[in-house]
């Protein structure tokens, strides 16, 4: 996965559905422009807002060039497609917008991490911070709770989740979808109640089965992705319908 397959020096171009490799590289260069600290980008493209599947591409920056390291990894998206999320991109006020319980994956630019999983240790050669999931770990989607869109580990005397929240998600799932994953920082700084919660890169149920709003892929592809990510290079997720990529720009205020 660390092998570079292509490079481009161009700065801007129009982005339309069905773009070739050069246009995808150019889109990343335009979105993550200037001297900002992002050096790795995970690009997920879909054909439309209602698409429940897409393709994942990996890019890294070397000096003033963006390099393609992997392309066309199949992923599953929300069963209702995508909606503009809340991340580190400039605000886009148009619809559709991501909201709690809408089964849409967030579109935009988002920080990544930590990685997580059921095993005590992460996959070999992982550099990202890693959190081992226990039966006491929950992600809270109760919009009335102060814990909304937070990962909470309940202590021994904290009581049951039913006593604390109206709605939550168990991280130690019996279907093993979260056996390995990465947190996507959607709606994280600040957290706005109702804008969506518990967004991850995680293992898919199988190809063809969409998610409740996350981005899912085969376990072997996710393992390789986690091993590729380097926290010192400030990796981000760029996710949108391909013909909307040209509207995305980083919010420079996110990098004081």
Sequence-separated (6 or more) residues with CB below 8 Å from residue 107: 82, 83, 84, 85, 98, 239, 240, 241, 244
Determine contact, residues 219/201, Cβ cutoff 8 Å.
no
pLDDT > 90: what percent of the chain?
Answer: 80
Q: Which two tokens stand for residue 129?
A: 């911070």
More reliable by pLDDT, 17 or 185: 185
On the question of pLDDT at 223 being above 70, the answer is yes
Please give the mean pLDDT across all residues of the chain: 90
Q: What is the pTM of this model?
A: 0.91
Determine contact, residues 251/36, Cβ cutoff 8 Å.
no
CA dihedral 237, 194, 147, 232 (to 10 degrees): 10
Q: How many residues does the chain have?
A: 256
Distance CA 144, CA 73 (A): 37
Which 3 state secondary structure label does DSSP give 39?
coil
On the question of pLDDT at 238 being above 70, the answer is yes
pLDDT in tens, 81-105: 999 999 999 999 999 999 999 999 9
Is the previous residue joined to 126 through a cis bond, with omega within 30 degrees of 0?
Answer: no
For the chain, what is the largest distance between any 2 Cα atoms, rounded to a whole number of angstroms? 58
């Amino acid at each position: 996965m660390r092998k570079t397959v292509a490079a481009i020096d161009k700065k801007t171009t129009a982005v339309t559905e069905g773009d070739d490799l050069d246009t995808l590289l150019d889109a990343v260069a335009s979105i993550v422009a200037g001297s900002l600290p992002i050096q790795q980008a995970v690009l997920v493209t879909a054909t439309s807002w209602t698409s429940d599947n897409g393709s994942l591409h990996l890019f890294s920056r070397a000096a003033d060039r963006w390099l393609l390291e992997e392309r066309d990894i199949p992923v599953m998206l929300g069963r209702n497609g995508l909606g503009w999320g809340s991340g580190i991109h400039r605000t886009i006020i148009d619809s559709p917008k991501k909201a709690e319980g809408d089964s849409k994956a967030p579109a935009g630019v988002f920080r990544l991490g930590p990685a997580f999983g059921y095993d005590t240790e992460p996959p070999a050669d992982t550099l990202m911070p890693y959190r081992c999931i226990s039966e006491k770990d929950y992600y809270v989607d109760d919009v009335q709770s102060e814990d909304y869109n937070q990962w909470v580990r309940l202590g021994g005397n904290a009581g049951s989740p039913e006593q604390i929240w109206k709605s939550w998600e168990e991280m130690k799932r019996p279907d093993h979808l979260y056996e390995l994953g990465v947190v996507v920082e959607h709606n994280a700084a600040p957290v706005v109640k109702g804008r969506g919660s518990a967004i991850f890169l995680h293992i898919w149920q199988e190809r063809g089965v969409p998610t409740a709003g996350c981005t899912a892929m085969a376990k072997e592809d996710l393992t390789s992705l986690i091993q590729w990510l380097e926290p010192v290079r400030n990796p981000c997720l760029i996710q949108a319908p391909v013909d909307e990529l040209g509207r995305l720009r980083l919010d420079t205020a996110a990098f004081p």
